[in-house]
């Protein structure tokens, strides 16, 4: 009953997407967790778009699931629609996106948290961190109550010293309706940890009953459902569509006429905003020649009339927002339930943490999510999971889990954060990975489930299911290699429907290599394939492996090649200031980031390839100066 003495193993600060994954990972691994959050009714809240997944992000969700995290399960249990984006494009960019029921998502996650006996949930604001001899020992809340723990994970989102802007008015808040977390930044500064400012924004929500959908284009979800989690028992739910409208000449004119009322354009916000999610005023200024922008109208849940206006985030004043929204076709009579706003907040540049997400200066202090300079629920959840796993490893003196760039988007994301001095909110994009054909959403389990099982987050039952699936993929691929499709009349009648023809017999796997031939067509052509009734997730992976065989092998060779630099370890005690013949900019960057390998050093922005060559020679000769 250590909780009676406020004694825990781990304190997780924040029950957002990162905090929930961190707390559940630690708790499932068997340690006692205090989960503090500003409002227990806002657990895993989606303060921006009611959606999970999409390009690159869907791969993160699948990776979280493959490692034993929960985001995939919660999304599958609470979707309003599922859609595979880029389904006609290559497998590296195919992405599942779920429209979420926001309230149900929160409820489902809260239930997961509350049904775990190792988690103690508490509504409070952590204002101070406690340390002894460079190690974390606990935290203090706003009422002065002290909690002790050997590890603390900070997942504070947009709350640290948060300030909300609606036009030129601003007030202290982390997000609409929730106070800011005041005090913790100052405590971090005392520990020598630097914070900087970022900003993000969200659009208004309008009342569904005041929208004329007949003027918009309907955007239904997929009829054949796909899911995020690799686990079985996928719920079939009532779905609902989204709609598409566009900005008009009038919208652009209203925005241009009111730019002087924008806190961004008046310089009231110093934090940098998300480059890939600009506000509508940014879009209109930056892409002035574009006469119209797409605006998606997305439901927030089955039990609410609140509706999200995607693509219309703004920090212009509330009265201007009314005019802007009512200039959109179908929204002429819209009633605004919640205004759009921007929020500026403190983050901790992640160059101050290692790949394990532990602070370089305070042992046992971990960071995950938006506090590391990212933006997005999926990015946050992936980091939260890794921070949680590593807090557990730290407590047990076990080796830290540091995922490589070639293993996952999660590894790529963390490597980018800790290596590159990121200046604007970081969002995962497929283009950030040099191995994107290997790191697909369909094979996340193949890449990470053995790791999740070894850690203890994937149970034996799920691991057996995973092994059976891998076996089935291999067996079916081998069978297709041996299966002959004859070039007879029956075959060519079927193939003609797809604009295909066979002059002579061919192996099924050879036929499947053709761009227009799917596994379903092989089923149509061959009775034995039909009878096997191979599940979708298995045959989809076979299609990718067969069709992209050459590309996949080439990318694997690149991984092996890069592995050589990755194996070139850099000792921790190098004195970069004493290394001759390399530029002072490189010295400064290397000293700040302290890369662990030559490959990581080469990825640091501003480090010159020639300097890396010099460093390599010196490391090889063991002639670098040590501290
Ligand atoms: C206005 C707005 C606009 C956004 N726009 C976008 C967007 O366009 N695209 C996008 O991808 N993402 C957007 N996001 C970001 C998205 O919400 C976050 O990326 C995601 O929620 C981050 O997850 P997290 O777990 O790091 O933090 P959050 O989900 O924010 O959770 C942080 C949690 O920490 C708690 N907390 C904070 N400080 C303390 C403390 N000291 N003590 C106790 N508890 C504390 C809070 O109560 C909260 O529960 C937006 C967020 C906001 C608020």
Which tens digit of pLDDT belongs to each residue from 511-523?
Answer: 999 999 999 999 9
Which CB contacts under 8 angstroms, 24+ apart, belong to 524-533?
524/494, 525/485, 525/491, 525/494, 525/495, 526/483, 526/485, 528/483, 529/480, 529/483, 532/476
Phi, psi (degrees; rounded to nearest 5) at 615: -60, -40
Query: Residue 363: its pLDDT value, please?
Result: 98
d(CA 88, CA 163): 43
Which tens digit of pLDDT belongs to each residue from 130-166?
Answer: 999 999 999 999 999 999 999 999 999 999 999 999 9
Which tens digit of pLDDT belongs to each residue from 157-201?
Answer: 999 999 999 999 999 999 999 999 999 999 999 999 999 999 999
Query: Residue 341: its pLDDT value, please?
Result: 96
**Least-confidence region, from 306-315, 326-335, 566-575:** 566-575
Question: In 10 A of CB 180, how many CB atoms?
Answer: 23
More confident residue, 31 or 5: 31
- What is the arithmetic mean of pLDDT over 319-327? 97
Q: Measuring from each residue's beta carbon to the nearest atom of ligand 1, which residues come in under 6 Å?
A: 13-19, 36-39, 42, 47-48, 125-126, 155-159, 175, 181, 184, 200-202, 274, 277, 343, 369-370, 375-377, 380
d(CA 452, CA 446): 11
More confident residue, 75 or 579: 75
Using the atom order of ligand 1, give the atom closest to the CA of residue 202: 3
Ligand 1: centre distance to CA 167 (Å): 21
Query: Residue 574: its pLDDT value, please?
Result: 86
d(CA 597, CA 589): 14
Instruction: Identify whether the C-beta of residue 385 lies closer than 8 Å to the C-beta of residue 25.
Output: yes
- Residue among 47, 127, 176 to mutate when testing ligand 1 (max atoms within 8 A of CB): 47
Nearest CA to ligand 1 atom 41: 126
Question: Mean pLDDT in the chain?
Answer: 93
Ligand 1: centre distance to CA 244 (Å): 27
Query: Residue 581: its pLDDT value, please?
Result: 78
Which tens digit of pLDDT belongs to each residue from 503-512?
Answer: 999 999 999 9
Whether residue 334 has pLDDT greater than 80: yes
Instruction: Set out the domains of the chain in order of their start, with CATH numbers.
Output: 205-344 (2.40.30.260), 460-552 (1.10.10.1800), 568-621 (1.10.150.570)
Which CB contacts under 8 angstroms, 24+ apart, belong to 563-567?
563/406, 565/597, 565/598, 565/599, 565/602, 566/404, 566/597, 566/598, 566/599, 566/600, 567/597
The candidate with the shortest Cα–Cα distance to 5, out of 120, 128, 156, is: 120
The dihedral formed by the CA atoms of 30, 31, 36 and 37, expressed in degrees to the nearest 10: -30
Whether residue 622 has pLDDT greater than 80: no
Q: How confident is the model at residue 585 (pLDDT cuts 50, 70, 90)?
A: confident
Distance from the Cα of residue 291 to its chain's centroid: 32
d(CA 473, CA 456): 25
Looking at the DSSP bridge assignments, the partners of residue 140 are: 128, 146
Ligand 1: centre distance to CA 61 (Å): 17
- Residue among 14, 40, 177, 204 to mutate when testing ligand 1 (max atoms within 8 A of CB): 14
d(CA 324, CA 203): 11
d(CA 516, CA 499): 8
Query: Residue 320: its pLDDT value, please?
Result: 96
**Residue owning tokens 């029950």:** 15
Q: What is the 3-state secondary structure (H, E, C) of 106-146?
A: HHHHHHHHHCCCCEEEEECCEEEEEEECCEEEEEEECCCCE
User: Given its phi and psi angles, is residue 622 left (phi above 0), alpha (psi -120 to 50 degrees) or beta?
Assistant: left
Using the atom order of ligand 1, give the atom closest to the CA of residue 374: 19
Which tens digit of pLDDT belongs to each residue from 541-556?
Answer: 999 999 999 999 999 9
Q: How confident is the model at residue 578 (pLDDT cuts 50, 70, 90)?
A: confident
Ligand 1: centre distance to CA 239 (Å): 27
- What is the arithmetic mean of pLDDT over 382-406? 97
The candidate with the shortest Cα–Cα distance to 320, out of 339, 306, 342, 307, is: 339
Question: In 10 A of CB 39, how many CB atoms?
Answer: 14
Nearest CA to ligand 1 atom 19: 376
Ligand 1: centre distance to CA 370 (Å): 6
Task: Sheet containing 51-53: give its strands across.
Answer: 51-53, 95-100, 79-85
- Residue among 159, 164, 185, 272 to mutate when testing ligand 1 (max atoms within 8 A of CB): 159
Query: Residue 621: its pLDDT value, please?
Result: 77
Looking at the DSSP bridge assignments, the partners of residue 152 are: 11, 365
Using the atom order of ligand 1, give the atom closest to the CA of residue 313: 8
Query: Residue 477: its pLDDT value, please?
Result: 96
Query: Residue 183: its pLDDT value, please?
Result: 96
Share above pLDDT 70 across residues of the chain, in percent, rounded to a whole number: 100
Q: Which helix (H) or strand (E) holds 573?
A: none
Task: Cite the beta strand spans of 384-500 per DSSP E.
Answer: 484-485
Question: What is the C-alpha radius of gyration for the chain, rounded to an integer number of angstroms?
Answer: 26
- What is the arithmetic mean of pLDDT over 340-358? 96
d(CA 352, CA 364): 14
Question: In 10 A of CB 585, how many CB atoms?
Answer: 12
Using the atom order of ligand 1, give the atom closest to the CA of residue 124: 43
Alpha-carbon dihedral sign for residues 409, 410, 413, 419: negative
User: Given its phi and psi angles, is residue 456 left (phi above 0), alpha (psi -120 to 50 degrees) or beta?
Assistant: left
Instruction: Identify whether the C-beta of residue 487 lies closer than 8 Å to the C-beta of residue 506.
Output: yes
Question: How many Cα atoms occupy the beta-carbon half-sphere of 248 within 13 Å?
Answer: 12
Whether residue 118 has pLDDT greater than 90: yes
Phi, psi (degrees; rounded to nearest 5) at 602: -65, -25
Ligand 1: centre distance to CA 159 (Å): 7
Work out whether strand 151-154 and strand 10-13 pair parallel, antiparallel, or are unpaired: parallel
Query: Residue 187: its pLDDT value, please?
Result: 98
């Amino acid at each position: 009953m250590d909780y009676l003495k406020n004694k825990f193993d781990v304190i997780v600060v924040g029950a957002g997407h990162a905090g929930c994954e961190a707390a559940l990972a630690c708790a499932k691994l068997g340690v006692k967790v205090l989960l503090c959050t500003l409002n227990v009714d806002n657990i895993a809240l989606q303060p921006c778009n009611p959606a999970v997944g999409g390009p690159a992000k869907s791969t993160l969700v699948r990776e979280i699931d493959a490692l034993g995290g929960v985001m995939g399960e919660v999304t599958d249990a609470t979707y309003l629609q599922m859609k595979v984006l880029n389904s006609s494009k290559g497998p590296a960019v195919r992405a599942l996106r779920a429209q979420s029921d926001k309230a149900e998502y929160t409820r489902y996650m809260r239930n997961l948290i509350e049904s775990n006996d190792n988690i103690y949930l508490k509504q409070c604001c952590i204002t101070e961190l406690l340390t002894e001899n460079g190690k974390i020992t606990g935290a203090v809340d706003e009422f002065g109550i002290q909690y002790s723990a050997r590890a603390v994970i900070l997942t504070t989102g947009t709350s640290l010293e948060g300030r909300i802007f609606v036009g030129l008015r601003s007030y202290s808040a982390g997000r609409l309706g929730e106070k800011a977390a005041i005090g913790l930044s100052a405590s971090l500064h005392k520990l020598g940890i630097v914070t900087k400012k970022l900003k993000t924004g969200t659009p208004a929500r309008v009342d569904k009953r005041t929208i004329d959908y007949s003027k918009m284009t309907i955007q239904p979800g997929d009829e054949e459902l796909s899911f995020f989690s690799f686990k079985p028992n996928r719920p079939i739910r009532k779905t609902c569509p989204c709609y598409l409208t566009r900005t008009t000449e009038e919208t652009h004119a209203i925005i241009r006429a009111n730019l002087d009322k924008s806190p961004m354009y008046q310089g009231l916000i110093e934090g940098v905003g998300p480059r890939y999610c600009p506000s509508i005023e940014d879009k209109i200024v930056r892409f002035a020649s574009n006469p119209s922008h797409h605006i998606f109208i997305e439901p927030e849940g089955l039990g609410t009339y609140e509706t999200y206006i995607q693509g219309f985030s703004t920090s212009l004043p509330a009265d201007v927002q009314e005019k802007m929204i009512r200039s959109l076709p179908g929204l002429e009579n819209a009633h605004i339930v919640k205004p759009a706003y921007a929020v500026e907040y403190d983050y901790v540049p992640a160059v101050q943490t290692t790949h394990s997400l532990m602070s370089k200066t305070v042992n046992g202090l971990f960071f995950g999510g938006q506090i590391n300079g990212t933006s997005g629920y999926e990015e946050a959840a992936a980091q939260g999971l890794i921070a949680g796993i590593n807090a557990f490893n730290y407590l047990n003196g076990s080796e830290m889990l540091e995922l490589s760039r070639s293993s996952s988007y999660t590894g790529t994301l963390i490597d980018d954060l800790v290596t590159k001095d990121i200046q604007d909110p970081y969002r995962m994009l497929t283009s950030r990975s040099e191995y994107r054909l290997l790191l697909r959403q369909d094979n996340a389990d193949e890449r990470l489930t053995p790791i999740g099982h070894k850690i203890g987050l994937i149970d034996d039952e799920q691991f057996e299911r995973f092994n059976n699936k891998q076996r089935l993929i291999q067996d079916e691929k081998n069978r297709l290699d041996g299966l002959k499709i004859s070039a007879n009349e029956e075959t060519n009648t079927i193939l003609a429907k797809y604009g295909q023809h066979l002059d002579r017999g061919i192996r099924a796997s050879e036929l499947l290599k053709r761009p227009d031939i799917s596994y379903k067509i092989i089923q149509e052509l061959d009775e034995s394939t039909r009878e096997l009734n191979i599940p979708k997730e298995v045959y989809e992976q076979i299609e990718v492996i067969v069709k992209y065989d050459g590309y996949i092998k080439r990318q694997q060779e690149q991984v092996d090649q890069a592995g050589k630099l990755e194996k070139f370890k850099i000792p921790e005690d190098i004195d970069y200031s004493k290394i001759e013949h390399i530029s002072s900019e490189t010295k400064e960057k290397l000293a700040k980031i302290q890369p662990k390998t030559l490959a990581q050093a080469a990825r640091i922005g501003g480090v010159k390839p020639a300097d890396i060559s010099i460093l390599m020679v010196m490391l090889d000769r063991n002639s670098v100066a040590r501290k």
